Amino acid sequence: MKKYIGIPILIYLIIYISIQYWSFPKKLKFAAKKNQHILVYIDSFSQSAKEEMRRSAVPASIKLAQGILESQHGKSELAKKACNHFGIKCGKNWDGLRYSVVSNEWEVEKKRMIPRLGCFRAYDSVSDCYRAHSDFLRNGDRYKALFNIMPGDYRSWAYGLQKAGYATDPKYAEKLISLIERFQLYKYDSAFPIPTIIY
């Protein structure tokens, strides 16, 4: 009897391993394509990130990592239609252009991401968005503590953003740090001297 029970399990394992074996090249190809898109994004916006770091003291590594994550490396609907690469919502005081789109928000009670329709800021260009993101962090009371952190300390910046409530994802800081280290975004933080006071 045990012999017959083992046969279906063995067949299942053979089928499962075969599927994994044949799909592995496709997974590698998809990962390589995604990496290529991210590298193109970095190449396109690293200069803007460095300039904004010099102007506002927001680390270029953090700005690039947030841009990659929030905009799906420039491929999200919000990025394409509203030039919003940082998922900045309208808020009470926003009187500029708006764009409504469904985004995933962390639901504490359900312990998972839930899609919700939200109002987001819209910009005329990506460069406007990069500048607005710096000002959003620099001028917001919620993020003031971040500017007491050394600009090169991207880990503390990432955890500081999460603690301040920039995003609802409980793994937000980890995702930013992973992107920064995987694509060596920290190298852009030392490109310019950081002024002590900027307004």
Q: Where are the alpha helices (DSSP H) in 57-125?
A: 60-71, 77-82
pLDDT reported for residue 107: 66
What's the CA gap between 6 and 55, in Å, rounded? 67
Q: What is the pLDDT along the chain (199 residues), one digit of tens a residue?
A: 545 555 666 566 566 565 555 544 544 444 556 789 999 999 999 999 999 999 999 999 999 999 999 999 999 999 999 999 999 999 888 999 999 998 777 666 666 777 788 899 999 999 999 999 999 999 989 999 999 998 889 999 999 999 999 998 999 999 999 999 999 999 999 855 554 444 3
Q: Quote the pTM value.
A: 0.77
What's the CA gap between 145 and 133, in Å, rounded? 16
Q: Structural domains in the chain? A: 2-190 (1.10.530.10)
pLDDT reported for residue 40: 97
pLDDT reported for residue 137: 96
pLDDT reported for residue 104: 74
Which residues touch 41 (CB under 8 Å, ≥6 apart)? Answer: 64, 67, 68, 73, 74
DSSP sequence for 140-172: -GGGGGGGGS-TT-HHHHHHHHHHHTS-S-TTH
From start to end of the chain, where are the E strands?
Answer: 98-107, 112-121
pLDDT reported for residue 112: 73
